[in-house]
Amino acid sequence: MARVKFLCDADRCIECNACVTACKNEHEVPWGINRRRVVTINDGKPGERSVSMACMHCTDAPCSAVCPVSCFYTTADGVVLHSKDLCIGCGYCFYACPFGAPQYPKVGNFGSRGKMDKCTYCAGGPEDDSTPAEYAKYGANRLAEGKLPICAEMCSTKSLLAGDGAIIAEIYKERVMKRGYGSGAWGWTTAYHEGIAV
């Protein structure tokens, strides 16, 4: 089985936010929640880099470990998903996540959090694949249809890569060798306990 990952090639990302828009549209993500976002470092200065970030679907996912009601599970492909039925909106997964993936709708005054929502690698949730019930809670299930996440598919510069971790690591290495530079696979050491030697 393939172990799927995300890789954002920061040297190609032009901050167009197509990935953000594609994700929001595909899954009809509610207002205020952003499963994917683009963060720009050194904005306007030489050496500016943009990185598209959602859930990295980590190895030993800290969100999963820290959840008080154990509502997370990791699929055979390595996709980290959770059950909104079991989630109690405590917010711990956000504190544990190194990438700020979990988001919560505001359901009341003060800090009341609703059910956590995050990038699902377009793999839905515990409900049966490609059913309206699954779509209402988790959005589209592209993986069940044999497709890759839509954010990577829509990327205008093919900076955001998604798929088998080994294959996208190879693609990135090839790019870096060909063009002669690369700022690295952002987040890989924290997420997967391994970097990519370039």
Partner 1 sequence: MTMMRHLARICSIIIAASAILTLIAATPVPAQQLGPDGAPNPTASVANEQKLLQQSPRIEGEIAQPNERERVLMQPAGRQWDYFHEVLLHWLGAIVILGMIAALAAAYLIMGRIRISKGRSGQKVRRFNPFERFSHWLTAISFVVLGLTGLNITFGKILLLPVIGPEAFSSESQLAKYTHNFVSVSFVIGLVLIVAIWLKDNIPQKGDIDWIKQGGGFIKSKHAPSGRFNAGEKLVFWFALGAGVAVIISGYLLIFPFYVTNIAGMQLAQIVHAVVAILFIAVIIAHIYIGTLGMEGAFEAMATGDVDLNWAKEHHDVWLEEQLTREPLSSRSGQSSGAPAE
Residues in contact with partner 1 by CB under 8 A are 10, 17, 20, 32, 34, 37-43, 45-51, 53, 62, 65-71, 85-92, 94-100, 110-111, 113, 181, 183-184, 186-187, 189-190
Closer to partner 1 by CB, 36 or 142: give it.
36
How far apart are alpha carbons 121 and 140 in whole angstroms?
10
How far apart are alpha carbons 5 and 106 in whole angstroms?
30
Angle at 33 between CA 28 and CA 35, to 5 degrees: 75
Supply the minimum distance, in Å, between the C-beta of residue 23 and partner 1.
Answer: 12
**111-118 long-range contacts, Cβ below 8 Å, gap at least 24?**
113/89, 114/89, 115/84, 115/87, 115/89, 116/82, 116/84, 116/87, 116/89, 117/29, 117/30, 117/33, 117/35, 117/84, 118/35, 118/54, 118/55, 118/82
Supply the minimum distance, in Å, between the C-beta of residue 103 and partner 1.
Answer: 8
- Give how far Cα 15 sits from Cα of 38, 51, 86, Å: 6, 8, 35
Supply the minimum distance, in Å, between the C-beta of residue 74 and partner 1.
Answer: 15
Closer to partner 1 by CB, 69 or 133: give it.
69
Supply the minimum distance, in Å, between the C-beta of residue 68 and partner 1.
Answer: 5
Contact 35, 29 (CB under 8 A): yes
Closer to partner 1 by CB, 65 or 167: give it.
65
How far apart are alpha carbons 171 and 175 in whole angstroms?
6
Closer to partner 1 by CB, 93 or 143: give it.
93
Closer to partner 1 by CB, 19 or 168: give it.
19
Give the amino acid at 180: G
Supply the minimum distance, in Å, between the C-beta of residue 145 and partner 1.
Answer: 28
Supply the minimum distance, in Å, between the C-beta of residue 147 and partner 1.
Answer: 26
Closer to partner 1 by CB, 143 or 151: give it.
151
